[in-house]
Structure 1
Amino acid sequence: MTAGSLGSQNFAYQAIGAATLLALFVASLFVGVGELAIGSLASDPEALRLIMISRLPRTLAALLAGSALAIAGLVMQTLARNRFVEPSTAGTAQSAALGILVVTLVWPDASLGWKAAGAAVTALAGTSVFLMLAHRLPPTQPFLVPLFGLVYGGVIGAVAIFAAWHLDLLQYLEVWMTGEFSGILRGRYELLWVAGALVVLAWWTADRLTMLSLGRDVSIGLGLNYAGMLRLGLVIVSAITALAVVVVGTIPFVGLVAPNIVSRFAGENLRHTLPWVAGGGAALVLACDIIGRLIRFPYEVPVGTILGVVGAVLFLFLLLGRNRNG
């Protein structure tokens, strides 16, 4: 294949990806209980008000949360040097929910910003412990890391559930453990723009993160500040996960499925794959949110439930594909 044909093929893929994401974005604006038509936006003030207060913030929240969680999964896989881990299956999301529970208990009137800060601290601690223990597992058994992550996250989640039950806060905890966008309105999703800024930071440091994936000895030999980049990666993963859990709740499998699908056709270079991963995560969350609104119309199924099913199927496909291809 010549360089010209390869460039044309890449451009075609980019055009298809952009068109798909744009179609999902527009569909998300006009799918819901309240009937809307594109022509009514210019003549009906109530239709425009509904778009600006509810539909547009919800769509932007899904876009930002999906892209940020996909990048957080990609960065976590780089830190763990394992393609089958992500924040919701490695204790990060559960640690963030536990942090919100602690902040709510200590400071019931805390704002979303302070809850996000508390969640980020506990998510950072939980992720650090996971990586410290995961690096002790045999590198020849890659499936031990995700299995350990599931057990580790389950233990932290059980601690959070027990504490919430003891304190009569189970309903609050359920909100943070189940991702859904029905409560997103203007004024409630804006913290996710911080997660978007962290995605930009991840792209800016993509080359150094790629070097980090080569291991401690190799990356230090190439002149990388290994400890500093490891801390930065932990901060990116923990902050993105905490912001997502605080605003929309736990959304599983996005950070696992999107990076693995992209790596199948785009390789492992983070500088090249990062925009694809972000777009894939955003499209996956938007699509599942639209399905959740339609599957029991006029009622809604939380996007976390839809993604739990879709993500599990895709995860099994990735595992079986890996076994079949060695």
Structure 2
Amino acid sequence: MRKHAIAGAGQDAQLHYSKQSKIWTKSFILAIFVVSILAVISLFTGVYDIRGQEDGWEMFFITRVPRTIALILTGAAMAMAGLVMQLITQNRFVEPTTTGTIEWAGLGLLLVYLLVPAPSLVLRMSGAILFSFIGTMIFFLFLRRVRLRSSLIVPIIGLMLGAVISSVSTFLGLFFQMSQVVENWFVGSFTSVQVGRYEYLWIIVIVTILIFIYANKLTLAGLGEDISTSLGVNYNGLILLANALIAVAVGVVAAVIGNLPFLGLIVPNIVSLFRGDDLRTNLPWVCVIGMGTIMVSDIISRTIIMPFEVPVSLILGTMGAVVFIVILLRQRKTRRVS
């Protein structure tokens, strides 16, 4: 009787895993459909009357289409970066905003402006990617030296590092009279997106493919150095690869759009709440929900005080702060019950 019970439990677990491992489910198709509707709403949301003006449809393809594509790619990039960072640090509160990665990208942009007058987008993007990688590696070096790795200590370390780097950027901006660069970067917005100014965001597609290819190994790396090494995985090499992919995604977004806080915190936590922590099966969900989240935020930013526009970073920051508090309270309640 006991053997039958164990076998039945094993079959139930296997059936549950097979359901979770499927990507093209009805719920996922529904999520794609909802995001598609949001994309259509985004295309036709704005002050400029594209149907009532002679050059309306020309402006539609110059500004509206690039903006919607940029929203889709950016949402996927930042949500995906948060997912990978949470996996390899084994911490729900880690994402580019809470590790200082975003602030390092801003410092890289500022230094490029100081060294090269009127730098091209490629130079700005290169500086942001390089400093994002450096900042993420410094965060991991700090993390290795911290013995107490509670769920709150890790993001506190990241926030402290980010605050220091942000102060350095502010000081350099004021000292060299480049504070406008810092201010423009801090206010993440899609208002300047148009044809010729967003195409480098397509690099995010390559990053997504690489993360999907290495998904199983990155999942093993998320188990910790000892376990992953015993399973034959090059832990240090995977950490370098993960940091490089995160740096590319964050750097490209920082150079083209600016600071987009908490997106990498909101989405992976919502997905993990319902689907667990498997990177390969969660990645499509995280990308799709990331797209939907940022499109909702952008639509709100364009309509809340129309004809004016609120920076999308303000909407994301507000939503992210609320979700952050909810996760904290939920985790505290779980600990009390246990």
TM-score surpassing 0.5?
yes
Deviates further, 204-213 or 15-24: 15-24
Q: Which structure 2 residue ranges, 5 or more long, are not aligned?
A: 1-11
Picking from 193, 205, 209, the partner of 1:196 is 205
Deviations 1:97-118 (Å, cap 9, x if unpaired)? 1011111111113211111111
1:107 aligns with 2:116: yes
Cα deviation for residue 156 of structure 1 reads: 0.4
Partners of 1:193 and 1:54 in 2: CA distance: 17
State how many pairs are aligned: 321
Partners of 2:25 and 2:132 in 1: CA distance: 38
- Structure 1 segments, 4+ long, off by >6 Å, are 7-10
1:247 aligns with 2:238: no
Q: CA distance change for structure 1 residues 140 and 105 in 2, over 3 Å: closer, same or farther? A: closer
The one-letter amino acid of 2:298's match is: D
Picking from 30, 41, 45, the partner of 1:16 is 30
Structure ID, larger Rg: 2
Picking from 172, 175, 183, the partner of 1:163 is 172
Partners of 2:217 and 2:167 in 1: CA distance: 36
CA contact (8 A) 1:120 1:238 kept: yes
1:184 aligns with 2:193: yes
1:316 aligns with 2:330: no
CA contact (8 A) 1:177 1:245 kept: no
- Identify the residue that residue 47 of structure 2 maps to in structure 1: 33
CA contact (8 A) 1:80 1:135 kept: no
Cα deviation for residue 317 of structure 1 reads: 1.2
The secondary structure found in structure 1 opposite 2:223 is coil
Cα deviation for residue 47 of structure 1 reads: 2.8
Partners of 1:68 and 1:162 in 2: CA distance: 29
Picking from 301, 310, 330, the partner of 1:301 is 310
1:63 aligns with 2:72: yes
- Identify the residue that residue 289 of structure 1 maps to in structure 2: 298
The one-letter amino acid of 1:231's match is: L
Q: CA distance change for structure 1 residues 134 and 71 in 2, over 3 Å: closer, same or farther? A: same
What does residue range 14-163 of structure 1 map to in structure 2 within 5 Å? Answer: 14-36=28-50, 46-163=55-172
- Identify the residue that residue 217 of structure 2 maps to in structure 1: 208
What does residue range 268-279 of structure 1 map to in structure 2 within 5 Å? Answer: 268-279=277-288
Aligned Cα RMSD in Å? 2.1
The one-letter amino acid of 1:287's match is: V
Q: CA distance change for structure 1 residues 207 and 6 in 2, over 3 Å: closer, same or farther? A: closer
Partners of 1:319 and 1:208 in 2: CA distance: 29
Picking from 246, 270, 281, the partner of 1:237 is 246
Deviations 1:186-243 (Å, cap 9, x if unpaired)? 1100111012211121111111110000111111111111121111001011111111
CA contact (8 A) 2:50 2:57 kept: no
Partners of 1:279 and 1:324 in 2: CA distance: 29
Q: Normalising to structure 1: TM-score of the pair?
A: 0.93
Partners of 1:48 and 1:63 in 2: CA distance: 21
Q: CA distance change for structure 1 residues 226 and 191 in 2, over 3 Å: closer, same or farther? A: same
Cα deviation for residue 151 of structure 1 reads: 1.2
Partners of 2:332 and 2:24 in 1: CA distance: 28
CA contact (8 A) 1:70 1:277 kept: yes
The secondary structure found in structure 1 opposite 2:198 is coil
CA contact (8 A) 2:87 2:277 kept: no
The one-letter amino acid of 1:22's match is: S
The one-letter amino acid of 1:217's match is: D
1:225 aligns with 2:234: yes
Cα deviation for residue 9 of structure 1 reads: 11
